[in-house]
Chains A and B, each alone.
Chain A
Amino acid sequence: MNSSKYNNESGVLIMENVIEIKKLSKSYEMGDTEVKVLDEIYLTVKKGEFSSIMGPSGSGKSTLLYLIGGLDKPTSGTIEIDGEELSSMDDKQESIMRRRKVGFIFQFYNLIPNLNVEENILLPILLDGKKMKNHKNELDEILDIVGLTERRRHTPRELSGGQQQRVAIARALINDPEIILADEPIGNLDSKTGTGIMELFAKINKQKGKTILQVTHSKEAAEYGQRIINIKDGRVLLS
């Protein structure tokens, strides 16, 4: 899948920006003091790019990811996802954006315990009001990609950590979103399983052309991507 396009006049390959962040700030009230987590950040992520946000604990990397995914609200600044500004969206539009344009993967998998693998994967489809049976092919394909075809009827409790994270990845992919946001996706896994997951990310990035933006502490994990965004004290150091 090609995520770039050519400028007709110059014939130069242009990479489209799918994420554009301008002057983004986020602060919290802690007692009487205001804690600034992100301080006027500018950042763009191009379509098809596999980027990793790195930085010390408390630097604001996860907060940045949550703001991009619309899971949290910025104090100031703008975030554009595929040309649409998040702050102008109401709850419904934001929810639709989370279902269709963004797939989120968390460190602790965050699966729904009373739903089985298939149902967890199909959640975004269900929430989109679509019929599950109409998405059987996509489901089969994704289950194949994440290697969980045999475990499709199991509940999260019956899966290992790595398998649960694969279900989370499959859930992020099911609606064929443009962007995959992953918050320390291997932070809770052993190194062997983590490697498997990162290889899966790389495969998805390459084969499906998905834009992946991950937060990680691991240099090895970051090296699976093409770009490292370093954050310190709420500011982007190197992009």
Chain B
Amino acid sequence: MSIVTKFILKNISEKKFRSFLILFSIIISTALFFSSNAITNSVGKMFTERVKSFYGSTDVLVQSNSNSASPFFTMDKIGRFSGKIDSVTGIVQGSANYIYNKNETLNFTMIGIDYSGYSKINNIDLEGKTFPAKFDGKLAIIGQRTANKYGLHTGDTVHLEMNGVNTNFTIAGIAKQTGLFMNDGITKFIIVPRNELGSLYGSGGKVNLALIKLKSRQDTKQFISDLSKEYKNYTVKEPYTKEELSSLTGGMATGLLIMSIMIAAISIFIIYTSFKVLTMERLPVTGTFRSVGATGKMTNLVMMAESTIYGILGGLAGCLLGIGVLYVLTTLTGSDMLSSNTSIPGNSDGGNVAISFTAAQMGFSFGFAVILSFISSIIPIIKISRIPLKDIVLNNIEVKNRKSRKRLFIGIAIVTAALIGPPLFPFSIAGITDIFCIIFTIAAVILLIPYITSACTILLEKVFGKFFGNEGILASKNVRGSKSIVNNICLLAVGISSLIMMNTAGGSEVAMLTKLYKSADFQVWITSMPNADKSMTDSIKSIDGVSDVYPIYRASKILIDGTNGRSLGLLDGVDKAKFQQYWKLDWYGDGNKLLNGLDTGRNIILANTMEKVLKVKEGSEITLKFPSGNRVYKVIGFANTTIGDGSYGLISENNLKTDTGMKYYNNIFIKTGKNPNAVKQEILDKFAGVKPALKTVVQMEQDDRDALGNTFTILNGLSIVTLIVSIFGMLNNLIISFIERKRSLAVLKSVGMSKRQIIKMVFIEAIAGGIIGSMAGILAGLLLVRNIPFTMEAMDMFISVQYPSWSLLLDAFIGMAIFTAAAISPAIKSSKLKIIESLKYE
């Protein structure tokens, strides 16, 4: 090993706490950076695996939608494209209750297949070899786990209740944990012959899902376009689209990215300050190297190599930790994210967790670690290289503590940019620019804190003088003059601000959810039901316990012309007579009058969030892009609501039907005085053939809260990690500060400062630092919170920020507690300091 390498490694191993701190910051930053990049991959992989488990090698599928006259269709028209098709198979889907015993009834998704056709698209791997030559009649295939759990074997009979009819099926085969049965036990599928299931539902030989495998995937888009013309009122699509995939992780990935930016900012700061001390400490050695002939470039390279080694070690460990973090994140939130996509049957039941990342992501994260370490340390290294050789050799360095005005102006300029920018950025670039505004805000905090500290200590000097006497005055002066304390204030401020940002975002989302469900005045919510027409809603109404039913037409993702791709998340066509009975919205003005106005032309009521986002007011016009063409709507009012996360509009039922071409209701709200769960079950049983998606409102709220809870538990957890990294940085600074101040403290002791006075002074300094750091953190946090809606809007997500009040005080208290606790050790050390030894310390 060369002398230089030995020298560098020895340097790293000698200062254990500092090396740990630098590595710790790099590792955490890298792990988070890696996982925020790879989460989309992992969730995407889980999603595609689930898609694949159900759809096999399907390239295109055909299924009914809310415009379809019947859930069933014939596959004749598909046959017209046989030249392009490798294989095609039709499926009848339904549901059945398996009555295991008196207390346990399970709901299974029934998949009616043509065995040979389905096998060409999705393999069914059966246990044993006793499968009948012809899969026909009342035969069934169940999964291995289900068989084991309920003690079922080949040849056994299962009693199923389907469409109100009790039927016995014989188990013809038990499938291994692959394909459709990959997540068996979590998902519940039973495969039966298609004809058998079809006859039970009266499909008349038709199917409600067709899976098509193409000869060439390159033709997919054209094929979909051509086939769509044949199946005008049905959905013809790929099993999943890229948009569906990216929408799964949008919020979480952005949250993680923001947190990794915060932690990276703190890490840069920690590495920078550590290297500043390191370069100063290393000065005599650098001097010796230079005096024996080393060039400035050589000594710089040694330091740079040291920082690169930190980057390499931190990068390697960070990537490994990142895999762990990714696994935890995917485990905790993956299923919630996936369940938001209802295009895969059985998906909402959950499934196996699998993580996935690319070598490029790993390499990119590793590079991030090395660059992070390098750029954080380069400034102190360059600064040292500018010191004249004579001064380095003689260790004759005076630390200038002059505050540059430039720093103040830059700080003010970038915080102003971060404040003014977000509302002005066009939607197309807002995704990137808003993230930059977060970086700007943090950078501004770090730049401005020395000035904020100076200003605050002038005030605190007077207050502390009154409360704590002259030690209070001295402490205030010390806070103003100590770079280490100012650095600690920066670290605390960034830590606190990230905590505030995540708490506020989480709190606001929960508040929005609460508001949404508080405004829903019904008990059961059907979110999807094929071919729901008046007769069907009448049929629901006739169910025992259902007191009233309100079906609506709901369109989603309606693009708004001239807004760079913004859209209305939800657009409801409402029945003015009923809407108010089911939704208690906070109208801007008279609700009845506004709703009546919907029928007098192409008028729209928007959620108040849209008022700001679209910059519209009463009387403004917006152009909505419908499949049938663009339609101009006049804004006649606003309602304060969180339906559609605030991306919401109301138009008349007729207008919605006309403009979207919708024929069937797709959301049905049900009022009941009875147990909503019993009513829900009744509906499921009654309409098993059309497989409606429904939940009780209570359950829906709980599920939403759980999903939100998981996401924000992670993001809050990460903001606490940010705070912990900050605390480590603060401890490092306090150690540096103690070493720097040893002499000053000894001087104070020599002129008569007692131990008690020293302890008092150090603690007052901590309180002052805590107050200033917390206040700066709260201020920065509020600045970041202020930009949350813009960052979310850039992803076409909306949030109505609920500014925290009491929790800010708690955050301030946490800040002061951290600062004070961190000062215990320096206070004790200071009081025990030996005057002569410290005065001799140069």
Contacts and interface: CB of A to CB of B under 8 A. Distances in A.
Interface in B477-511: 477-478, 480-482
Contact of B750 (A91, A92, A104, A130): A104
Interface string B325-356: 00000000000000000000000000000000
Interface stretch (B145-153, B752-760, B789-797): B752-760
A120 B681 CA distance: 83
A130 B746 CA distance: 21
Contacts of A124: 751-752
B106 interface: no
Contacts of B477: 114-115, 119
Contact of A98 (B481, B743, B750): B750
Given A72-B835, A112-B748, A127 B478 contact: no
A74 interface: no
Given A110-B743, A126-B470, A127-B757, A95 B752 contact: yes
Nearest to A123: B751
A198 interface: no
Contacts of A83: none
A98 B6 CA distance: 49
B451 to A, nearest CB: 16
Interface centre among A95, A98, A104, A111 (most CB of B within 10 A): A95
Nearest to A171: B751
A117 B746 CA distance: 18
B756 A92 contact: yes
A50 interface: no
Contact of B469 (A91, A96, A129, A157): A129
B8 interface: no
A55 interface: no
B754 A112 contact: no
B836 interface: yes
Nearest to A100: B752
A66 B753 CA distance: 16
Contacts of B285: none
A115 B749 CA distance: 16
Contacts of A113: 401, 481, 744
Nearest to B831: A91
Nearest to B747: A110
A128 interface: yes
Contact of B482 (A92, A97, A114): A114
A100 B787 CA distance: 58
B839 interface: yes
A69 interface: yes
Contacts of A127: 470, 748, 751-754, 757
Given A72-B835, A92-B756, A114 B480 contact: yes
Given A110-B743, A114-B481, A119-B477, A95 B835 contact: no
A92 B835 contact: no
A70 to B, nearest CB: 9
Given A95-B757, A119-B477, A126-B473, A66 B836 contact: yes
Nearest to B753: A127
B474 interface: yes
Interface in B821-842: 834-836, 839
A71 B835 contact: yes
B839 A123 contact: no
Contacts of B839: 71, 106, 108, 110
Interface string A51-75: 0000000000000001001011000
A99 interface: yes
A124 B754 CA distance: 11
Nearest to B834: A72
A112 B747 contact: yes
Nearest to B750: A104
Contacts of B470: 126-127, 129-130
A69 to B, nearest CB: 7
Contacts of A69: 750
B750 A110 contact: yes
Interface centre among A112, A128, A130 (most CB of B within 10 A): A112
A21 to B, nearest CB: 18
B748 A98 contact: no
Given A66-B836, A127-B757, A112 B744 contact: yes
A128 B478 contact: no
A106 B743 CA distance: 12
Given A114-B477, A126-B474, A99 B752 contact: yes
Interface in B799-836: 834-836
Given A111-B747, A114-B478, A95 B754 contact: yes
Interface in B719-761: 743-744, 746-757
Given A110-B743, A114-B480, A127-B470, A98 B755 contact: no
Contacts of A119: 477
Contacts of A96: 752, 754
A28 B367 CA distance: 53
A126 to B, nearest CB: 4
Contacts of A128: 752
Contacts of A108: 839
Given A127-B470, A127-B757, A99 B480 contact: no
A111 B757 CA distance: 18
Nearest to B761: A127
Nearest to A94: B754
Contacts of B469: 129
B755 A104 contact: no
A111 B481 CA distance: 14
Interface string B743-781: 110111111111111000000000000000000000000
Interface in B73-113: none
A211 to B, nearest CB: 18
Given A92-B754, A92-B756, A129-B469, A123 B748 contact: yes
Contacts of B478: 114
A150 to B, nearest CB: 22
A66 B482 CA distance: 28
Interface centre among B481, B750, B756 (most CB of A within 10 A): B750
Contact of A91 (B482, B744, B755, B836): B755
Interface string A82-107: 00000000011011111110001010
A19 to B, nearest CB: 17
B662 to A, nearest CB: 73
B628 to A, nearest CB: 74
Contacts of B754: 91-92, 94-96, 127
A44 B779 CA distance: 62
A181 to B, nearest CB: 10
Interface in A146-195: 157, 171
B750 to A, nearest CB: 5
Contacts of B480: 114
A197 to B, nearest CB: 19
Contacts of A104: 750-751
Contacts of A171: 751
B477 to A, nearest CB: 6
A92 B756 CA distance: 8
Contacts of A115: 477, 481
Interface in B435-481: 469-470, 473-474, 477-478, 480-481
B675 to A, nearest CB: 72
Given A91-B755, A92-B754, A129-B470, A71 B836 contact: yes
Contacts of A129: 469-470
Contacts of B481: 113-115
Given A71-B839, A95-B755, A127-B753, 10 more contacts: A69-B750, A95-B753, A96-B752, A110-B746, A114-B477, A114-B482, A127-B470, A127-B748, A128-B752, A171-B751
20 contacts: A66-B836, A71-B750, A72-B836, A91-B755, A92-B754, A95-B755, A96-B752, A98-B751, A98-B752, A99-B751, A99-B752, A100-B752, A104-B750, A110-B746, A111-B747, A113-B744, A114-B480, A114-B481, A123-B751, A127-B748
The 4 closest A-B pairs by CB, nearest first: A114-B481, A99-B752, A95-B754, A98-B752
